[in-house]
Amino acid sequence: MNIKTSKFYHYLSRKKARLYLAAFQVLQLFVPVKYLWHKFAQSGELEHHIHDKWRQTPDFMANTSKLMSYMGYNPESFKEKIVVDVGSGSKLRSKYFKSSKIVAIDPLIDDYIKNILWSDINDAYKSCSVEAEEFVSELKNTADFVMCINVLDHTYNPQKVLENIYGYLNDNGEFLLSLDLNNTIPNPQHQVAITKEKLERWLNEVRFNIKRMEKYEKSNQKKAYGSTGVAMNYILVK
């Protein structure tokens, strides 16, 4: 394939993506967001994890280590403590913490275990294959630390997810929230646009207190997750 032909196919691919997104946004006007999330986001998320190469490399945990250390944590921070990993994905970032009792929550956990040989979900102390919007009652007021990294903008009801996390924390617990901000919906895997103003309104309504906040721009790509290049990191407490 010559350069001119390659550019032509790239152009068609981008045009097809724009048409697909436009059609999806029309669907959102008529179809419940939860149905679209199950139909599009979850199938796309599973496919992404099955073919993901990055999580299989040392760089994945190195990236996690940089984030954790920057936000003031070290591998011994929650030794023998309960760490709840909301939206854990197929590879546990929470294993950064040594000797912690990791509880993984993700709606695709059963699918990860079934379809991804390199997944380490079974290393968790406990795993819950449920939506983040579904409250796991046995975790109420038990968590010393909750982490939710590059997840909230992948859910269909972010405020409900935040309410559940508030319910998991014990009185002295901390919550690390890290996510991309978007003014518009970039693709069917991110079905809710989250701005800083909207997010902080939700945090206030849930009654979280902001202990620390950091913003990263696209120039520091290792700390941003998606195409927008703007990521927010919060440490939150009750």
Per-residue pLDDT at 26 exceeds 70: no
Predicted pLDDT of residue 182 = 79
For the chain, which residues make up each domain, given as ranges?
A: 1-30, 32-237
Of 52-61, 69-78, 96-105, 213-222, the one with minimum mean pLDDT is: 213-222
Give all strands of the β-sheet with 209-216 in edge-to-edge order: 126-128, 101-105, 82-86, 143-149, 169-180, 231-237, 209-216
- Helices first, then strands: H and E counts in the chain: 7, 7
Top-confidence residue, 5 or 15: 15
Give the DSSP H/E element, type plus range, for residue 83.
Answer: strand 82-86
Of 50-64, 87-101, 135-149, 210-224, the one with minimum mean pLDDT is: 210-224
Q: For residue 69, give Cα distances in angstroms to 65, 82, 156, 219.
A: 6, 19, 30, 20
Question: At 11, is the pLDDT very low, low, confident or very high (cuts 50, 70, 90)?
Answer: very low
Predicted pLDDT of residue 97 = 98
Give the mean model confidence (pLDDT) for residues 76-104: 98
Of 18-22, 56-60, 191-195, 232-236, the one with minimum mean pLDDT is: 18-22
Q: Distance of alpha carbon 1 from its chain centroid, rounded?
A: 38
Please give the class, per CATH, of domain 32-237.
alpha beta
Predicted pLDDT of residue 33 = 76
Of 12-16, 48-52, 75-79, 186-190, the one with minimum mean pLDDT is: 12-16
Give the DSSP H/E element, type plus range, for residue 214.
Answer: strand 209-216
Top-confidence residue, 44 or 211: 211
Q: For residue 224, give Cα distances in angstroms to 5, 9, 55, 215.
A: 33, 28, 16, 9
Predicted pLDDT of residue 16 = 55
Predicted pLDDT of residue 19 = 60
